[in-house]
Amino acid sequence: MERIYLDHAATSPMHPQVIEIMLEVMQSTFGNPSSIHSFGREARHLIDQARAGLADSIGAKENEIIFTSGGTEADNMALFGVAESYQHKGKHIITTKVEHHAVLHACQKLEKMGFEVTYLPVDESGQISLDDLRTALRDDTILVSIMYGNNEVGTLQPITEIGQLLKDHQAMFHTDAVQAYGVEQIEVNQSFIDLLSVSAHKINGPKGTGFLYARSNVKLSPRSFGGEQERKRRAGTENIAAIVGFHEASSISNGNRKAKREQFLELKRTLIEKLRKLNVEFNINGILENSLPHVLNLSFPGTSVEAMLVNLDLAGIAVSSGSACTAGSIEPSHVLVAMFGKNSERLTNSIRFSFGFNTTVEEVSKTAEETARIVSRLKK
């Protein structure tokens, strides 16, 4: 049976060029980057090259890139690092109700530590109101963390407008750009972003590596202690092969961003048009005109998310839902709850389709046909 993978927002397969360059590094460069001998210097040179390339991809300086184990650690480093370093200026933090759990759970922990957190609501498209942010902003606000593009429904937030609103305020502006990096053009200075999180495995790089961009004037309390790596901001011997692989994945992803966006938008249009031709009843969660090109979240009235996921998997199609499905119970997606309310039927019948560099129009067409058959069967 042919298997179709449409869950690239969860994780993406490594690009062949990334695998090739990582194997080369693993075979030839094993020195500790902190060692001063030739083996260490060779490893350090590779890390320096990667740092420079990744910094350039967002318009940052090399010393503003901190390598992490991925997006979760980057988010945690940003939130806890800023909170501990600037608590003398205030203990108020602003975020949204639709953030990734790496931000939301960190905020919940900070609340237990005595910080006050305001969770901004979103409209039915999944977007915050700038007026709500302006109202929530206080003299003692030290951090605003608002994601670039949502991982479940794809909605983009008005990042540049948020940055402009905050540029004359003491609050640091952090954005989780894990889903947006590589598909959206990100310029940290033009958008007045102080901190930004990225993960390699979302852009066909290796799992277990990512970075936090932190503007040079931002003070960050470290989360790990030991060596003096990453300018004393993150202790631990660097994963050289993964960092080099991350850089290669970034170069590929950002190098053909325009063509990739067009490819993803075509796949999105194909799936929607095919479902309509097959007379499938569905609603789009989010807004097509203002969303990540590779993420499409659809609600299928009269179905259940568990049945849809199981039947699609049996048909060889891998997709996902915003819900954490467990045996016999579903925890509703916090994103859909924020958008539509806790009583909306969309909480129990929504599926996320997400595309990658190797997704074809034929695969998406077949997915639409199988989806139509499954929806028809379930509604009977």
Residues annotated as part of the active site: 325
Query: Using an 8 Å Cβ cutoff, are 202 and 182 in contact?
Result: yes
Q: Can you read off the two tokens belonging to residue 248?
A: 């290669």
Cα(252)–Cα(64) distance, rounded to whole angstroms? 22
DSSP state at residue 157: P
Name 224's Cβ contacts closer than 8 Å, sequence gap at least 6: 234, 235, 236
Cα(268)–Cα(353) distance, rounded to whole angstroms? 9
Determine the angle formed by the axes of helices 240-255 and 16-28, rounding to 10 degrees.
150
Q: Can you read off the two tokens belonging to residue 295?
A: 């993420």
Cα(340)–Cα(196) distance, rounded to whole angstroms? 28
DSSP state at residue 94: E
In degrees rounded to 5, what are phi and psi of residue 11? -165, 160
Query: Using an 8 Å Cβ cutoff, are 180 and 149 in contact?
Result: yes
Cα(253)–Cα(259) distance, rounded to whole angstroms? 10
Amino acid at 339: M
Name 172's Cβ contacts closer than 8 Å, sequence gap at least 6: 82, 86, 142, 143, 144, 194, 195, 218
The DSSP element (H or E) to which 352 belongs, if any, is: strand 350-354
Query: Using an 8 Å Cβ cutoff, are 338 and 324 in contact?
Result: no
Burial of 132-160, coded b for 16+ CB within 10 Å and e otherwise, reads bbeebbeeebbbbbbbbbbbbbbbbbbbe
